[in-house]
Amino acid sequence: MVSTITKEQTAKEYVQAVYDKVISRNQGESEFHQAVKEIFDSLIPAIEANPQYIKHNILERIVEPERVVYFRVPWLDDNGNVQVNRGFRVQFNSAIGPYKGGLRFHPSVNASIIKFLGFEQIFKNSLTGQPIGGGKGGSDFDPKGKSDNEVMRFCQSFMTELYRYIGPDTDVPAGDIGVGGREIGYMFGQYKRIRSGNEAGVLTGKGLLYGGSLTRTEATGYGCVYFVNEMLESKGLSYEGSTVVVSGSGNVSIYAIEKATQLGAKVVACSDSNGYIYDADGIDLALVKQLKEVDRKRISEYVKSRPQATYTEGCTGIWSIPCDIALPCATQNEINEESAKVLVANGVKAIGEGANMPSTLEAIEVFLNAGVLFGPAKAANAGGVAVSALEMSQNSMRQSWTFEEVDAKLHQIMKNIFNNSTAAAEKYGHPGNLVVGANIAGFTKVADIMIAHGVV
Ligand code: GLU
């Protein structure tokens, strides 16, 4: 039985009633439910202090995407067979600015995954302080093992439908898992062809030769490390001499490894969806870059060139490697309660979520109860989309800033996110809890703008 929603409810009753509705309206979408629960549980103090959010029924409005499109993506493989995938774009919230968020190409993609990502994106984008709303999209297409030509044909077919819904001032997609510079290039080429014009700002994460921003490739990983640095410094700690474990070996992981190493850490492990490598001497990043960025090989190949390192099949074991700092940069729900307990038992001091929703709700609970510094994804991985917004600014101005300029802006944005989240946590009675702080800081800005815009 779904509870009714009224202006007279207490904050707790209201949150529960809307959450019940989310479950019944979005059946089977477990990742979306999880993302909503994580945010809603944090918002109770903010809703208690701001009864206008109940009066304007902000929660029920915010969990309903403004628009969802899903579409057929037919393409021809190299053998001439017709393949069909499903494409998605969720335009979740445009209170702050054009919908903004990546495209994920991965076989696990479905409505639940895209909606959880799109929902989180609203609050993450709000936290960046940049004028961007929240959206997300993607497909269940798997680029792994496909030829370049197959990836190109798929991207062209995908954009032949997606172009109707996007534009530099309406919705600006970018990359996510399975979508990097190559895919953005093919999609941009097709968009430009269909629109017969060069609207550079329609996608971000573009190549540097055609409107991309310096530092965008590095931004999510660097930003995550900068954010964790703020958490460490607030407790008189630093990366210097620390041992770090980073999961994944995509764009986020590679540049998290690079920045953590530059700041004096030793990164001893990373992974892909098949397994993980452990290199006690510290990861050879040039080798990882060669394998993943150039050769598109599996991480297991690493040990062929570095025989002192070990490769283990399966992913969860990476969290049993003792470390001071853990940066989950692979995918959702990669740290469960059990892995969190192992990390805590091994003395972990800080977690920085580079991926989207990498810790389960139970794992977050374990970290917070143990007093581990915990940088939630919406805050810690916001650097990528923040630099995407800087790419949009440069495209609008027809200028390009230097690496140092963009990196300095990124660094400042990550500091601001840390300070604003810390202040919100304090103000609403949960000092030090950055889950509560980031969620409330991200939410209140969107909610206040929604009220200003009226019932739309
Ligand atoms: N996919 C990234 C994210 O999760 C980046 C999105 C963007 O740059 O628009 O935030």
The chain-wide mean pLDDT, for the chain, equals: 97
For ligand 1, the distance from its centroid to the CA atom of residue 141, given in whole angstroms, is 18
Same structural domain for residues 250 and 310?
yes
Same structural domain for residues 32 and 141?
no
Ligand 1 atom nearest to 385, measured from its CA: 8
442 located within any domain: no
Same structural domain for residues 182 and 80?
yes
40-59 average pLDDT score:
97
45 located within any domain: yes
305 located within any domain: yes
242 located within any domain: yes
- Residue ending a domain, among 198, 233, 248, is 198
Q: Is the pLDDT of residue 304 over 80?
A: yes
Same structural domain for residues 170 and 312?
no
422 located within any domain: no
For ligand 1, the distance from its centroid to the CA atom of residue 45, given in whole angstroms, is 28
Same structural domain for residues 164 and 234?
no
Pocket test for ligand 1, best of 90, 114, 119, 121 (most atoms within 8 A of CB): 121
- Residue ending a domain, among 198, 227, 249, is 198
- Helix or strand run (H / E) with residue 30: helix 30-49
Same structural domain for residues 150 and 104?
yes
Q: Is the pLDDT of residue 184 over 90?
A: yes
pLDDT of residue 2: 64
Largest CA distance in the chain: 66
Confidence label for 217 from pLDDT (cuts 50, 70 and 90): very high
Same structural domain for residues 366 and 278?
yes
Confidence label for 406 from pLDDT (cuts 50, 70 and 90): very high
Spell out the residues 6+ positions from residue 121 whose beta carbon is closer than 8 angstroms to its own.
92, 100, 101, 134, 135, 136, 385
Confidence label for 194 from pLDDT (cuts 50, 70 and 90): very high
The alpha-carbon radius of gyration of the chain (Å, integer) is 21
Q: Edge-to-edge, what's the strand order for the sheet holding 243-246?
A: 310-313, 275-278, 266-271, 243-246, 325-327, 350-352, 373-375
pLDDT of residue 1: 56
Cα–Cα distance, 316 to 360 (Å, whole number): 13
Neighbour count for residue 13 (Cβ, 10 Å): 14
Which domain covers residue 55, as residue numbers? 11-62
Same structural domain for residues 74 and 169?
yes
- Ligand 1 neighbours, Cβ below 6 Å, are 100-102, 174, 176, 204, 356, 384-385, 388
Cα torsion 209, 212, 213, 217: sign: negative
In order, the DSSP letters of 110-157 are -HHHHHHHHHHHHHHHHHTTSS--EEEEEES---TT--HHHHHHHHHH
Q: Is the pLDDT of residue 449 over 90?
A: yes
Same structural domain for residues 259 and 169?
no
Pocket test for ligand 1, best of 124, 206, 388, 410 (most atoms within 8 A of CB): 388
Ligand 1 atom nearest to 382, measured from its CA: 10
421 located within any domain: no
- Residue closest via CA to ligand 1's atom 8 equals 385
Cα–Cα distance, 365 to 359 (Å, whole number): 10
Neighbour count for residue 209 (Cβ, 10 Å): 7
For ligand 1, the distance from its centroid to the CA atom of residue 171, given in whole angstroms, is 13
In order, the DSSP letters of 145-171 are T--HHHHHHHHHHHHHHHGGG-BTTTE
What single-letter amino acid sits at 332?
Answer: Q
The tens digit of pLDDT for each residue in 112-164 reads 999 999 999 999 999 999 999 999 999 999 999 999 999 999 999 999 999 99
Pocket test for ligand 1, best of 220, 224, 393, 414 (most atoms within 8 A of CB): 220
Confidence label for 106 from pLDDT (cuts 50, 70 and 90): very high
Cα–Cα distance, 432 to 66 (Å, whole number): 33
Percent helix, strand and coil across the chain, each to the nearest 5: 50, 15, 35
The tens digit of pLDDT for each residue in 308-329 reads 999 999 999 999 999 999 999 9
- Residue ending a domain, among 350, 380, 410, is 380
CATH of the domain at 376: 3.40.50.720
Q: Is the pLDDT of residue 96 over 80?
A: yes
> Which residues are the active-site residues?
136
- Residue closest via CA to ligand 1's atom 10 equals 385
CA distances from 8 to 48, 52, 234, 243 (A): 12, 11, 41, 52
pLDDT of residue 361: 97
Ligand 1 atom nearest to 173, measured from its CA: 9
Same structural domain for residues 19 and 106?
no
- Residue closest via CA to ligand 1's atom 5 equals 385
pLDDT of residue 5: 87
Cα–Cα distance, 188 to 174 (Å, whole number): 10
For ligand 1, the distance from its centroid to the CA atom of residue 174, given in whole angstroms, is 6
Same structural domain for residues 36 and 80?
no
Cα–Cα distance, 228 to 221 (Å, whole number): 11
For ligand 1, the distance from its centroid to the CA atom of residue 185, given in whole angstroms, is 16
pLDDT of residue 255: 98
For ligand 1, the distance from its centroid to the CA atom of residue 136, given in whole angstroms, is 8
Spell out the residues 6+ positions from residue 213 whose beta carbon is closer than 8 angstroms to its own.
204, 387, 388, 390, 391, 394, 400, 401, 406
Pairing verdict, β 325-327 and 350-352: parallel
CATH of the domain at 100: 3.40.50.10860
50 located within any domain: yes
pLDDT of residue 198: 84
Total number of domains in the chain? 3
- Helix or strand run (H / E) with residue 210: none
pLDDT of residue 197: 83
56 located within any domain: yes
Q: Which of 186, 4, 21, 204 is nearest to 99 (CA)?
A: 204
Q: Which pair of tokens denotes residue 405? A: 């300029």
In order, the DSSP letters of 355-390 are SSS-B-HHHHHHHHHTT-EEE-HHHHTTHHHHHHHH
Q: Is the pLDDT of residue 237 over 90?
A: yes
Same structural domain for residues 74 and 51?
no
SS3 245: strand
Q: Which of 177, 91, 89, 138 is nearest to 358 (CA)?
A: 177
Location of structure tokens 């530092």: 215
Q: Is the pLDDT of residue 436 over 80?
A: yes
